[in-house]
Structure formats: structure tokens, C-alpha cells
Structure 1
Amino acid sequence: MEIRMYIRFVATWRMIIASGIISLIYACACPDEKTPRLSAIVPTEHTLLAVTPSLSLQLTGDTLNKSYPQLRTGKAFPISGFLRVDGIPYRFMGGDSLRISPLAPLSKDTVGWTGKYSFLFPGKGWEQRVYDDSWWSEGKGAFGPVKGYYYPAHTLWGAENIYVRRHIKVGNRNVLKNHKVYVRYVCDDRIKLFCNGKHLLESGFTHQTKCQRLTDEAINQIVDGDNILAAYCRNTGGAALLDFGLYIENKTYADAEPATLKKMNAQATQTQFIFQCGEVELQIDFVSPSLSEKWDMAGWPVGFLSYQVRTENEKEHTVEIMFDVDVEWMFGTRKVDSWVEHDWRFAKSDSLYLAMIAGETTFSCEDNHIILSQNLCARNENKGVLLIGHEEGRTFQYSGENLRPLWNKDGTREVKELMMSVGNRYQKFKTECDELDYRWNIKAFQVGNETFAGAMLSAYRNFMSSHRFVSSSDNKLFCFGDTLGNVREAYKSFPALLFFNRTDWMKGLLEPIFAYCEDIHWAKRYPPYDIGLYPIASKQVKLEDCAIEAAANILMMTTAIIEAEQDFGYADMHWEQLCLWADYLQERMKKMTFPSVGLLEHDDERVKCVLGLMAYHKLVQLKGNL
């Protein structure tokens, strides 16, 4: 087949498929009365709770009570959940335990510690357990600025390099058996850590306390008696800081049995788990109200866990539910504020808010853990809710303006107010989300199978969990990921947004790019690949322009919006830019040479040119028809 014919064939087929999907979506908007029942979806991984891009909980499979949920960065979110039934604890959320006790504490966990140090390279073998450090200087850790610094340092470190040996006495190494051992550290700028000569880690600057588990091989290096934890740190400029210590797992919840998972079901706005805990059944739902179809709730930095217990027999049970969050593991800080406001008990650490109904909740803060618990009565099917809020705390800067998030565009609202608003109506929100999930579940299974449904519903949540919703000065909605105005990421998001008929969010992805090009920031004949990194829109981050891809993708995405809305108004607003980009693709097509053999990849520039121009020709037809 001639290559030009092949290109036209591929392009035409793609447009047919795209049109078919749009038509199918509209057909699904009015399903038949005979609809299948709500089908369970168990994705391989998905966003468990969408709060903010900085605090969205991810889950792999059905591992809610086998491991901790993770943030988008891959860091564990240290939340554990337990249901105590007639005195027997069952773990329904989190891993075994993140609680740790010091073997050799950090400076901020004590009044300091004694170590040997040298600013000059001490020679080979300095990190080994057997080494003569009698000639080294002796100082009190941590090392760094001793006054006016955020961290408690006791010995001044003003040189470029520092070598530190910390002697740790272990009376009986058998206490380490069947326990996890961790090294904790904070450094400015670069650090290398060793235990009895065994290399543990190498890391860059961190102003928060980091924690890393030791391997079994490293633990086996620890002996009875004197051990050496050695560190080399280099300061590349500015203030210098070094602190490190050794910690052991504290099995506070070692007696808790994993609850038996009976059911898991992930839908568009929530994920439901049902656990068997002895003779009591626990249902827990992770609900993201920001996923509702109410436009003003987009980006609300609040999610909640609703729970209820029930039993099939008439026997009364003493039931208590408890949530444990390790705030020091999360933020590297111990500070916890707690207060009661309008019948809600709040606990706040750094940017994380937790809340439960005050009159039914017991609060405590032990070993830098926030613990919230509530007594329940299984016989009466008691219900409750745990609210989770997060405040990112950064102002978005766009075109010389400071723009606020959609939920707080007038600057007068607070996260705790949103949490109370959600908490007071959580059962209503839950019902609305149930109805929404049912509707989208039916449509997803009418279009495809479980794999398709899982992909669409998961993509919907993933989009919410990775984007911020901002209101512009002229009241336009902007949707921003970590890379602002990323054309390729927007293109990947469009199938799911198109399926859910979220043309408002689709426009929110493209609108900042159009505004950027229609202003003085961009003088090129094709759109930018991106417009900056959050929270500042300044200039394109990607070194390569990817001009053809960017122009073709935006033309195709605009066409999808117009066909979905059956209204040419949005394209008409930006018609000059769309024509400019189409002309650019046309010129590039004329300069391209086409091989007579070989297949084309989907991201080949020639294919992108054809698809972009066909999308533009479709826009021209729609302009005349609509």
C-alpha cells in the first residue's frame, strides 16, 4: 500500500473511531430500562482517595490492610485502622506498624548525643567499626548552626566536609530479631551513611527527617557491644546540618489480626471495602466528594472515610474503631494542634487535617502519632466518619497575578470550614455519590467490559488527584497538573474526560494554553508544549518544542470538545490561533519526504500532521454546520 494512502487510511480510521465513541457516549446518556446491576470493579491500582495532588492516596490491588496507602510521590501515607471487637483488635487498614523506638536517638529526640568528628579526610577505613578515632575531636550532635536555626544543633559545623563517628552500645543484639531496624537522618547538603563499615545509603539535601529501613545484611553487621554509625556529609553552600540515629520497630499493634476482606469495589467517586472482624462486619467507604458533578466542588481539598458495623446475630458486642496516623513519619515534625469546633474534633499537623465528631471521639497524641477512636454498637449498625483535609499553602502565579484555587477564589474560606460542611452532610454526599457511581458503572459496562470500565473509572480519579482547579481573574476555569499546560498529558486525559462528558475540565486544560499564546508570552507559530512548573507559569520547561505534536494534539482536542458540545462557540473564541497552527502543520507537510516502505508509528510526525489537519478540516465543516 502506498504510504500516502496508508496515512489517509490510518487517519480516517482514527476519526471514525473517535466519532463512534462520542456517539456511543451520547447513546448511553439515555440507557434502556433493562440495565445490568452494579458490577464490582477491582483495579490493579487506583487512587483510593483524591484530596489534593500533594495528598492523594494510591492503592495497589486489594492491599488496604496489607500495606500502607501511598502518595503520588511513592511515599507511604502512615495511616492504620483497627476495629476492636470484644477486646480483640483487627487491622483493616495499613501495614503492621510504623511505630519506632530509638536505639540511638536524633538530637531533637533527646538533649543531643556525643560523637567524634573531623573536618579533614581521616584516611582509609574511617567508617569501620575497628578504627582508632582517639585523635578526633569530640562534639555533641547534631552538627550545624548552633543558634537561630530551625533544627537543634549543638556543635558548630562551618567547614565544607565533615566526618562523624557515633558509638552505639548494643547490650543484646537478639532484641533485633524479628524487628525492623531503621536509620533516620537529616542533612544539608549531601550525606553517606555506614553501619560498622557497611554502606547504608547516599542522599542529597533534606530539611525533613528521612527514614530508611536497614536490610537484613546490614542488621547482621550489628554486634553485641560497641557499634559504629558513621557519616560523611558535604556542604555545597549556605548553612550546614547533620544529624542521624538508629531506631527499632515498636510493635504496638503486634497482637492485631488482619481483618478478612470479603468485598472490594472501586467506582467513579468512591471505593468500598467490607471486612469480617470476628462476628462483626465492617463496611468502610473512601469517598472523594470533589469527584461529584457539582462544578463548584471541583478541587475541594477534602475526602472522608465513612464506616458502619453490623452483625447477623442478636448478640451484643463491644466495638471500637481507631485510626492511627504517624505525623512525624509523614512530615518530620512532632507538632500537633487539637481543638473542638462546632461539635467536631480536629487534629492538625503541618498541612494535614483530621476530624471526627467530638462527642463520640477519643483523641490522643502518643509518640508523635495522632490517634482518634470511637465506640460503636454493632447491634444498631452505628455509623461514623473520618474527615481528611489538606492545605497545599502555595499561591499560583499566572501572568503577573496570584490566582486562588476554585474552592477559595475569594480568599475567605478555610479547609476546616469545608471539612465541617462535608462532615455535616456526609451521608447526603454519600448517597449522591452512590447514585453517580451507579449511573457511570452502567454506562461503562454498556460500552465495554470490566477492563474498559476499570480503566475509565480509574483514569477519572487519577485526573482529579493530579490536577489543581484554579479560577482566573476573568472567572475562567484552569486545570493544572504539576507541569502547567502539558499538552501531552492533557491529550492522554481526554478519553476519560470525554467519556464522563467533562467538557468543562477539557476546556480547563486548554484554556491556559490559548491564553498564553494569545498574550505577549508566545510569538511562535505553534503552541508551547507547556507553560511552566507549578506554582509559577513562566516559560516552557521542556527543552524540545515538539511543535507538530503540540499543534496536532490541540486541534484534535478542540475538535473533540466541539463535537461533544455540538456548539462551535469555544473554537470560535480561539479561531485565529487554530488557523495559525493548522497553517503551520500544512507547511510542515509540504516539506516532509515520505518513504515508500515501512510502517509508521502512532507518534510519527507525519501521522500527527495528518491527524491534526483532518481535525482542522472537521472544525471547518462544523463551523459551517453549527
Structure 2
Amino acid sequence: MEIRLTIKLVILWKTIILLGIIVLLSACFHSEKEAVPSIGIVPDEHMLLAITPDFSIKMAGDALNKHYLRLKSGKLFPVIGILRIDGRTYRFMGGDSLRISPIAPLANDSVGWSGKYSYLFPGKGWEQKEYDDSFWKEGNGAFGPVKGNSNIRTAWGAENIYVRRHIKIDNKDTLEGHKIYVCYICDDQIKLFWNGDFFSEKGITYQTQCERLTDEAIAHICNGTNVLAAYGRNTGGPALLDFGLYIENKTYSEADTVLLKQIDIQATQTHYVFQCGDVELQIDFVSPSLSEMWNMTGWPVGFLSYQVRTEDKKEHTVEILFDVDMEWMFGKRKIDSWVEQEWRFVKSDSLYLGMTADETTFSCDDSHVVLSQKLCAENGNKGILLIGCGEGQRIQYVGERLQPLWNSNRTGEVKELMMAVGNKYQKLREECDKLDKLWNNKAFQVSDKTFAEQILPSYRNFISSHRFVLSSDHKSFCFGDTLGNVREIYKNFPVLLFFNRVDWMKSLLNPIFEYCEDERWKRKYPPYDIGLYPVASKQVKTDNCAEEAAANMLMMMLAIVEAEQNFSYAELHWEHLCLWANYLKERMAENASPSIELLDGNDEHVKCVLGLMAYRKLIQLKDAYE
């Protein structure tokens, strides 16, 4: 009896907590409390720009002028921001220069390089510097199938290949204080050694990868001949092996590091203020797809705005420039540049950059794109850098390729969105300022600074990890990487409820309802997920977690109805909501005597109780709103 009483109390307590959270968040929308003053927050890591899941930019803490930006995937985004004032250079974004110069270049950086190779295992110690490779064959890199790749100069058709590249260093003292990189391309596997020491082991990569030599490896560099050795393995299909040694070219090594005066991270923007000598520089990262005034949901565009102010009231010659290493990013050298409707555009692979053409110069040297602009009274001492990204693969939903929401007419281009954002960026900034003030005040009304540091950046985190597409019947669908993952959607609902994005909440549920209402799904409960990006056709998780999925869908529908104070959306899907509630009743009946395991908050019985309570509340609201 005591155990059963404890179980009932646990269920009641968890239910009170859940409903309390929903009521609290809903009440925030109607709060009439006095506004709380803005207080700057700096989480350990946050998304600077929410553009697309494939290209959203994040930063750790306040280190904008200490380290390079990174994409959401963790890949480096090699952009450097420089401010020149009266000829003096200041670096406000990025680390030291990523420009690299070849010591022993890759095949596509040269007319080919000479190395010793063997298809058979040459015996223990083959990677050592002292090893005698005089009896090996000699050939020019790169190695692979000769047909189809102009950089391949030596055929490699066996499963294994062992290559030794002799690299001559005339004066190792000239390398002191520089970073040294091993660059390589391989298909399928590569294992690298520097002067006999193991360096790295990687899988297939079609783009140039660069890895920095450790300080210990650099210490083993000697004057005269050094050996960079590689073992390549081809597990099937085409083969490729190319590798070389590079040194950083410190283009901006003499730049002064700016002084960070202020950082403020809000829901839609991140603000930085730097002191650069006698000039103050303000940098703002703005994610316009989070705006509410214009329907820009899912737009793959963000921008960085900048403005300088002088404190000594003297005239200064000021220039701002952005340097992006496209080859480091994409392993490609092709760069397109053009001027259109007073905007200068640059494109490489899927990345678009844009600045106003007036007072802007463009250069491209060694696969580095440099965009610079003179800042003066005529242009208000301010400007913007537009960043756009071409969409990845189209989502396939029940055999149909769905268009991105922003390109519903199938004729749009990323550059057009960038121009639309650039032409009204100041109005967008003003709108985002209002939204940030609203959400900042609300965060502090609900709780404290710790809560604000968690909830405000989550707005950008959501948009950076979800894709909005248009269904065949013109409904908005929203997908994460695992399409229609009910558990992940459930976790995102409190965030969307806080920011009053009921439209996005519906976009998350729309594809699940449509999938269940299709003849292909005949079960009494909703699917746990409906596929893995980019194909929605088969569940990724074999364990359906049926009770959890059904209960979560009922609770999420209740949140939407209470937020809207309208039952129309639930009415559209009422048949399936009732079906799922009946399924939960059946499961409750089958497990009428819960065990002590019910104390686990993820217990199926607890989910059944919460789901049925949400269903009961929906019935009450159905009667109230009809």
C-alpha cells in the first residue's frame, strides 16, 4: 500500500510540474508587469548567425577576436575581420592568418611531385626517415586511376599503396614561430607519418584537409631531407592519394588585437563593441529569419552589420575588410564575382557573400576572397556583410521532392533574398531590437539571468537546426535532421511556446499528422519519426516508443490550443487524437498494476497518465471553444 501511495504521489507531482510549466509559459504572453531593464548575457557557446542547418555560425563565449568562427557541424569558418585606421591594422574577428604557402605542394598546386611507392607491404620500419627506399618504384603524385582526374599522374589500382615523399628543408630556423600543416586528399583511407612518427589516420575525403603538425613533430624537422610517408588503402571503387606540407603565411600577423568593450547576446542578435585606438567599432550579427514583421521563416540569409564612431572627433581614414579562405572551407578554387543592383556578390561552392558596391573593393588572391569598404560620413560610417547559403538536398516526402518554404514558386535565388535583406536591413535591425527587448524582459519576468542565458540563444539554435519546406497542399512543414522526431519536437515546444511561435509548432506537427492520416500508416499510435534527412519514408528508430509518442502528441496539441485559445487546429486532427487517447487507455488497462519502476520519470505508465490528462483537458476546451 505504501508503495502504491508513493507511486500515485509521484505521478501527481510530475503532472503538477508539467502543467505548471505550461501555465507559466502561457501566462507570460499576457503579462502586464513593468518591463525589466536589459542585462547582457554571455553563454559559454551560442549560435551567432542562424542561416541553415548546413551553414549556421557559432562562437564560444566572447572570443570573436581570439579564435575563428565555426559552423554548427564544428567545421572551421575561416573568416578574418580587419579594421584599418589611418594605416594601422586591427583584427576584430578570427585568429591569426589561415593563409598557407607550400613547402611541398599538393598535385593541384604544382605540376606534380615525385615520391617513392610500393604496392606490397615493404616490411617493418618503412615509414622511418632512415629507411632505404632506393629499390622502390618512383612516380609522380597524385596516385589513383589515371582516367578522370587530371591531377593523377601515377596509376594506383591495387588495394594498398605505401608512399614516401622526401622533403628538403634548407633552413629550419625560418619555420620558427609558424604553424606547419599537412594537407591531403584520400579515397578511401590514409595513414600519415612525419619523420617516422605517426601523425594522423583518416577516412575518405574528396576535399583538401589540413591538419597542423604538433610542436613535437615540428621539433623533429631537420635541415636537409625529411620524410612525409603515407599508407593508402582502397576498399573498392576509385582510389586517390595526394599529400603535401604547407606553412602559414602570416598576412595579418602584425595586426593589433582590439579591446572588447561590450558583448550582448539577445534572442535575434549578438552585439559586440570594440575599441580600436581612437575609434569604436560596433559589430552586430543579425538573423533576419527570426523576424516577425516580414514572413522570412527559413530564409537562408544572415548579415553582419558594422559601424564606427570616433571619440576624438577628428577625421580618420577608416577601412573595413573581410578575408575568407574559400579553399580551406570547400577544397575548391572556383570563385565567381559580379555586381547586381548596386550589390557586389561573391560565390564559392554553396556560400554567398555580399556588400554594397559603392566604396567597396573585391580581390581574390590564392583562393582568398577579400571584400573591403571605406567607411566615411557619406555612407554613415556603417555597412553590412551579407551571408547566404545555397540549400542542400531537397527533402523527399512520400515520394515527392518538397521545395524550401522561401522558394515556393521554384524561381527564387539566394542572391535575391540577400538583396531583399540588404535593402531593408536597417528596418530589420529596428524590428529585431524591439523583439529582443520584448523577449529579454519576458525572460527576466519568468526567472533570472541563468534562465535568460539558456532561453534567449535557444531561438537561434532552433532555426539553425531546422528546415522549413512547403508540402504539396501548401502546408508549412518543419524538419530536423531526423524527420518528424516526436521526442525532439516535444523538447522544442517549451522554447517555441516562450517565443510565441505557434506557427512553427504547427509546422513541426503538420508532417506527422499528414503521415498518419495517409493510408500507409495503419497503427493506433503515431510514429516515433518518419525518416532521416533528406528522405521521409522509413522510421529510423525501430522501437516505436508508442506510448511516449502518443502522449507527447496529445500534450503538444493541448499546448497549441491553450496558446491560441482556439480549437480549430485540434478539430482538423480530432479523429487521430481520439485514436491515440484510446490506445493509451488500452495500454493503461493492460498494465493496471504498476510496479516500483514507475518512479522512473520516463516510465510508459507515467506517459499514459499525462497523455490522458491532456486529452481530458482537450475535451473540456473543445466544449468551451465551440
| TM-score range for the pair, normalised by the shorter chain length | over 0.9
- In the alignment, what sits opposite 1:246? 245
The alpha carbon displacement at 1:18 in A equals: 2.9
Q: Does structure 1 conserve the Cα–Cα contact (< 8 Å) formed by 2:50 and 2:302? A: yes
The alpha carbon displacement at 1:597 in A equals: 5.0
1:233 partnered with 2:232: yes
The alpha carbon displacement at 1:598 in A equals: 6.9
The alpha carbon displacement at 1:454 in A equals: 2.1
* Structure 2 residue ranges without an equivalent (≥5): none
- In the alignment, what sits opposite 1:362? 361
- In the alignment, what sits opposite 2:61? 61
Distance change in 2, residues 1:248/1:21 (3 Å): same
The alpha carbon displacement at 1:115 in A equals: 0.6
SS in 1 for 2:43: coil
The alpha carbon displacement at 1:434 in A equals: 1.2
Bigger shift: 579-588 or 196-205? 579-588
- In the alignment, what sits opposite 2:305? 306
The separation in 2 between residues aligned to 1:237 and 1:618, in whole angstroms, is 59
Q: Does structure 1 conserve the Cα–Cα contact (< 8 Å) formed by 2:300 and 2:390? A: yes
- In the alignment, what sits opposite 2:141? 141
The equivalences for 1:519-538 within 5 A come to 519-538=518-537
Q: Does structure 2 conserve the Cα–Cα contact (< 8 Å) formed by 1:58 and 1:71? A: yes
SS in 2 for 1:70: strand
- In the alignment, what sits opposite 2:17? 14
- In the alignment, what sits opposite 2:576? 577
The separation in 2 between residues aligned to 1:380 and 1:241, in whole angstroms, is 51
Distance change in 2, residues 1:462/1:610 (3 Å): same
- In the alignment, what sits opposite 1:88? 88
The separation in 2 between residues aligned to 1:100 and 1:220, in whole angstroms, is 20
* Structure 1 residue ranges without an equivalent (≥5): none
The alpha carbon displacement at 1:15 in A equals: 3.9
Q: Does structure 1 conserve the Cα–Cα contact (< 8 Å) formed by 2:194 and 2:217? A: yes
- In the alignment, what sits opposite 2:52? 52
Q: What CA deviation, in whole Å up to 9, does each residue of 1:427-465 have, x standing for no partner? A: 111111111211221222211111212211111110011
The separation in 1 between residues aligned to 2:307 and 2:364, in whole angstroms, is 25
The separation in 2 between residues aligned to 1:56 and 1:330, in whole angstroms, is 14
Distance change in 2, residues 1:117/1:317 (3 Å): same
Bigger shift: 581-590 or 385-394? 581-590
- In the alignment, what sits opposite 2:261? 262
Q: What CA deviation, in whole Å up to 9, does each residue of 1:533-566 have, x standing for no partner? A: 2121111112322222222211111111111111
Q: Does structure 2 conserve the Cα–Cα contact (< 8 Å) formed by 1:311 and 1:378? A: no
Distance change in 2, residues 1:125/1:573 (3 Å): same
1:101 partnered with 2:104: no
- In the alignment, what sits opposite 1:590? 589
The separation in 2 between residues aligned to 1:600 and 1:214, in whole angstroms, is 52
The equivalences for 1:537-616 within 5 A come to 537-592=536-591, 597=596, 600-616=599-615
Distance change in 2, residues 1:596/1:484 (3 Å): closer
- In the alignment, what sits opposite 1:74? 74
1:373 partnered with 2:372: yes
The equivalences for 1:14-53 within 5 A come to 14-28=17-31, 31-32=32-33, 34-53=34-53
SS in 2 for 1:50: strand
The equivalences for 1:465-480 within 5 A come to 465-480=464-479
The separation in 1 between residues aligned to 2:425 and 2:54, in whole angstroms, is 23
1:494 partnered with 2:493: yes
SS in 2 for 1:345: strand
The separation in 2 between residues aligned to 1:594 and 1:208, in whole angstroms, is 59
Bigger shift: 16-25 or 214-223? 16-25
Q: Does structure 1 conserve the Cα–Cα contact (< 8 Å) formed by 2:29 and 2:500? A: no
The alpha carbon displacement at 1:178 in A equals: 1.7
- In the alignment, what sits opposite 2:621? 622
Q: Does structure 2 conserve the Cα–Cα contact (< 8 Å) formed by 1:309 and 1:377? A: no
Q: Does structure 2 conserve the Cα–Cα contact (< 8 Å) formed by 1:305 and 1:386? A: yes
SS in 1 for 2:154: coil
SS in 2 for 1:239: coil
The equivalences for 1:358-507 within 5 A come to 358-377=357-376, 381-507=380-506
The separation in 2 between residues aligned to 1:602 and 1:258, in whole angstroms, is 50
SS in 1 for 2:77: coil
The equivalences for 1:115-194 within 5 A come to 115-149=115-149, 152-194=151-193
Q: Does structure 2 conserve the Cα–Cα contact (< 8 Å) formed by 1:22 and 1:564? A: no
The alpha carbon displacement at 1:479 in A equals: 0.5
The TM-score, its normalising length taken from structure 1, stands at 0.96
- In the alignment, what sits opposite 1:5? 8
Matched residues, number:
622
The alpha carbon displacement at 1:394 in A equals: 2.1
The separation in 2 between residues aligned to 1:360 and 1:594, in whole angstroms, is 76
Q: What CA deviation, in whole Å up to 9, does each residue of 1:501-547 have, x standing for no partner? A: 11110011111111111113323222212111212111111232222
The alpha carbon displacement at 1:161 in A equals: 1.1
The alpha carbon displacement at 1:200 in A equals: 1.1
- State the one-letter code of the partner of 1:217: E
The separation in 1 between residues aligned to 2:181 and 2:611, in whole angstroms, is 54
Q: Does structure 1 conserve the Cα–Cα contact (< 8 Å) formed by 2:485 and 2:528? A: yes
The separation in 2 between residues aligned to 1:247 and 1:15, in whole angstroms, is 57
RMSD of aligned C-alpha atoms? 1.7
- State the one-letter code of the partner of 1:479: C
SS in 2 for 1:95: coil
- In the alignment, what sits opposite 2:282? 283
Q: Does structure 2 conserve the Cα–Cα contact (< 8 Å) formed by 1:514 and 1:574? A: yes
Bigger shift: 438-447 or 135-144? 438-447
SS in 1 for 2:71: coil
Distance change in 2, residues 1:218/1:591 (3 Å): farther
The separation in 1 between residues aligned to 2:7 and 2:452, in whole angstroms, is 36
Distance change in 2, residues 1:580/1:51 (3 Å): same
The alpha carbon displacement at 1:246 in A equals: 1.0
The separation in 2 between residues aligned to 1:489 and 1:23, in whole angstroms, is 21
The separation in 1 between residues aligned to 2:348 and 2:585, in whole angstroms, is 56
The separation in 2 between residues aligned to 1:324 and 1:545, in whole angstroms, is 49
Q: What CA deviation, in whole Å up to 9, does each residue of 1:410-429 have, x standing for no partner? A: 11110011111111111111
Q: Does structure 2 conserve the Cα–Cα contact (< 8 Å) formed by 1:281 and 1:309? A: yes
Bigger shift: 535-544 or 123-132? 535-544
The separation in 2 between residues aligned to 1:380 and 1:359, in whole angstroms, is 9
The separation in 2 between residues aligned to 1:491 and 1:174, in whole angstroms, is 59
The separation in 1 between residues aligned to 2:490 and 2:179, in whole angstroms, is 44
SS in 1 for 2:583: helix
Runs of 4+ in 1 over 4 A off after TM superposition: 378-381, 593-599
Q: Does structure 1 conserve the Cα–Cα contact (< 8 Å) formed by 2:139 and 2:154? A: yes
- State the one-letter code of the partner of 1:417: E
The alpha carbon displacement at 1:378 in A equals: 7.2
- In the alignment, what sits opposite 1:518? 517
The separation in 2 between residues aligned to 1:19 and 1:323, in whole angstroms, is 45
Q: Does structure 1 conserve the Cα–Cα contact (< 8 Å) formed by 2:598 and 2:606? A: no
The alpha carbon displacement at 1:572 in A equals: 1.6
SS in 2 for 1:404: strand
- State the one-letter code of the partner of 1:604: D
Q: Does structure 1 conserve the Cα–Cα contact (< 8 Å) formed by 2:51 and 2:300? A: yes
The alpha carbon displacement at 1:295 in A equals: 6.2
The alpha carbon displacement at 1:319 in A equals: 0.9
- State the one-letter code of the partner of 1:297: M
Bigger shift: 470-479 or 291-300? 291-300
The TM-score, its normalising length taken from structure 2, stands at 0.96
Q: Does structure 2 conserve the Cα–Cα contact (< 8 Å) formed by 1:315 and 1:379? A: no
Q: What CA deviation, in whole Å up to 9, does each residue of 1:475-508 have, x standing for no partner? A: 1110111111111211111111001111110011
- State the one-letter code of the partner of 2:236: G
The separation in 2 between residues aligned to 1:295 and 1:510, in whole angstroms, is 23
The alpha carbon displacement at 1:44 in A equals: 1.8
The alpha carbon displacement at 1:88 in A equals: 1.2
SS in 2 for 1:130: coil
The alpha carbon displacement at 1:585 in A equals: 2.1
- State the one-letter code of the partner of 2:27: L
The separation in 2 between residues aligned to 1:354 and 1:381, in whole angstroms, is 21
- State the one-letter code of the partner of 1:119: Y
The separation in 2 between residues aligned to 1:18 and 1:305, in whole angstroms, is 36
The alpha carbon displacement at 1:14 in A equals: 2.5
Q: Does structure 1 conserve the Cα–Cα contact (< 8 Å) formed by 2:547 and 2:608? A: yes
